[in-house]
Amino acid sequence: MNFKASLSLFGALVGTSCLAASAADQAPAIAAFDRAYTGVTDYTCILRVHEAKGTQSQDRVYQYSFMNPHYVKTLILDGDGKGSGGVWIGGDQVSGHLGGILSGFHLKVDLHDPRAVSLRGVTIPDGLLPRIIDDYGTIPGKLTQTDGGKLGGIETDRLELSVAEPASNHGISDQIVYLSKDTHWPIRQIMYSGTQIVLDESVDDLKTNVGLTKSDFPF
């Protein structure tokens, strides 16, 4: 079984030289996202993700659904593990299934089980978009905000975090996220380990407050 949504590597929260409050002061885009997220009860989106680990690589397209406070459902629409999916409703387990004729058979496994994570070990809750932005305010390092130009015709803000201790951040030395100046939500993230791009992911078709219910997250 090979399932899991991706979106970003979850940075370790270690003793800090870059507090969330000061990060928000340095990067108004973080505060803007926090304001935009206020009042959001759920969202859906499509994630297009490329990951690399050494000489290995993985490309996937995910359908991703989230409902507060901790309901997440993923489905691999294309790429490695196509048709597989997983549901997380908090706690330390994931309910997952394979694609094809086995899609009706669900199995509960540990959140960090190799079958339930991406190539670089990203778990389902690690992929939450608010957690991506939170990482930029909590992982120790130098955080800068600049104009990101246009991505796909969308004007963006660009946050770059030069990580103080890559060894405590899954080997990630530099990470960049682009946020829409209109919606303030992330639309692309790129992560480096040295000079190698180890994660490149984009967010498409984002919809908020679509009316998801607990029945949309069968566990």
Query: Do the Cβ atoms of 197 and 53 come closer than 8 Å?
Result: no
Does residue 51 form part of some domain?
A: yes
Total tally of structural domains belonging to the chain:
1
Using N-to-C axis directions, what is the helix angle for 129-138 and 28-37, rounded to 10°?
A: 150
More confident residue, 105 or 42: 42
Does residue 174 form part of some domain?
A: yes
Does residue 218 form part of some domain?
A: no
Residue corresponding to tokens 């530099």: 174
Does residue 14 form part of some domain?
A: no
Does residue 91 form part of some domain?
A: yes
DSSP string, 75-129: EEEEETTTT-EEEE-SSSEEEEE-SGGGTT-EEEEETT-GGGS-TT---TGGG-H
CATH code: domain of residue 28? 2.50.20.10
Query: Do the Cβ atoms of 156 and 150 come closer than 8 Å?
Result: yes
Tell me the per-residue pLDDT of 76-118, one tens digit each, with 9 for 90 and over: 999 999 999 999 999 999 998 876 655 556 789 999 999 889 9
Q: Is the pLDDT of residue 7 over 50?
A: no
Does residue 213 form part of some domain?
A: no
Does residue 219 form part of some domain?
A: no
Domain that holds residue 101: 20-206
Q: Report pTM.
A: 0.86
Does residue 84 form part of some domain?
A: yes
pLDDT confidence tier of residue 6, bands split at 50, 70 and 90: very low
User: Sign (positive/negative) of CA torsion 35, 29, 141, 132?
Assistant: positive
Ramachandran class of 81: left when φ > 0, alpha when ψ lies in -120 to 50, beta otherwise? left
